[in-house]
């Protein structure tokens, strides 16, 4: 077992920044126009992630991004979310250098990993999610650039 101090260093190395804030929306086109007005800029990409049954669009805001997400199927996590809650912040994604090492570290810290094997996310990323019940009610996503 590495000394706690050393783990803390690895943690700094890994959770490098907020990669994006994910926002669940009902109508991507409508919300693209709303966020373009809000942010004073258009989204820089749209992308459908079939594996997650979501259509996404991304706005660059300094070092981080806003990710708008619309369900592409009623079994989408976004559809289930919107069936219970109104539109709004859905998750916070962190950029990590080594997603597998971070999964191991977080498992050791007692967090609930939803998919230990990273899956293909949007915007050229490998992604892992942590269950909100282990993170004070916030759905957390880890992203590693491919
Ligand atoms: C990958 C493409 C893109 C990217 O950035 O690259 C994405 O970000 S895709 C985003 C969509 N995909 C996911 O969210 C995958 C991970 N999510 C899940 O596995 C589920 O949504 C899960 C497990 C968080 C919730 O599953 P489900 O909705 O089936 O369960 P419940 O409805 O029973 O909810 C259980 C419990 O969790 C609370 N909950 C659900 N969603 C959220 C959320 N987004 N934030 C906070 N809390 C959430 C829900 O309220 C329930 O709590 P309870 O106290 O029991 O009422
Ligand atoms: Co995301």
ipTM of the shown complex: 0.97
- Whether residue 9 is predicted with pLDDT greater than 70 in this model: the reply is no
- Taking CA atoms only, the protein residue closest to ligand 1 atom 7 is 121
| Residue of 62, 53, 50 lying closest to 21 (CA atoms) | 62
pLDDT digits over 32-81, tens only? 999 999 999 999 999 999 999 999 999 999 999 999 999 999 999 999 99
Measured distance CA(18)–CA(14) in Å, rounded = 11
Are the CB atoms for 36 and 111 separated by under 8 Å?
Answer: no
For 42, phi then psi, to 5°, come to -85, 165
Residue extents of the structural domains in the chain = 15-145
Ligand nearest to the CA of 128: 1
Q: Which residues line ligand 1 (CB under 6 A)?
A: 22, 49, 52, 54, 56, 67, 69, 77-78, 80-81, 84, 90-91, 93, 114, 121-122, 125, 127, 129, 131-132, 137, 139, 141
Q: What percent of the chain has pLDDT over 90?
A: 89
pLDDT digits over 99-108, tens only? 999 999 999 9
Structure tokens at 103: 């999964």
pLDDT of residue 5: 46
Pocket perturbation via mutation, ligand 1, pick of 132, 135, 137, 141 by most ligand atoms within 8 A of CB: 132
Tell how far CA 36 is from the center of its chain. 20
What's the average model confidence in pLDDT over 83-104?
A: 97
Record the pTM.
Answer: 0.93
CA of 90 relative to ligand 2 center, distance in Å:
9
- Write out the CATH class of domain 15-145: alpha beta
């Amino acid at each position: 077992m590495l000394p706690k101090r050393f783990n803390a260093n690895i943690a700094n190395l890994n959770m490098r920044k907020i990669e994006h804030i994910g926002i669940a929306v009902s109508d991507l086109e409508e919300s693209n126009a709303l966020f373009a007005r809000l942010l004073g800029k258009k989204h820089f990409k749209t992308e459908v992630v079939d594996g997650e049954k979501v259509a996404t669009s991304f706005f660059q805001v300094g070092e981080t991004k806003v990710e708008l997400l619309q369900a592409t199927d009623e079994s989408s996590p976004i559809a289930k979310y919107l069936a219970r809650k109104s539109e709004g912040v859905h998750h916070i994604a962190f950029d990590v250098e080594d997603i597998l090492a971070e999964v191991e570290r977080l498992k050791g810290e007692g967090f609930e990993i939803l998919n230990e094997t990273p899956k293909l996310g949007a915007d050229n990323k490998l992604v892992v999610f942590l269950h909100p019940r282990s993170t004070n009610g916030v759905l957390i996503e880890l992203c590693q650039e491919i």
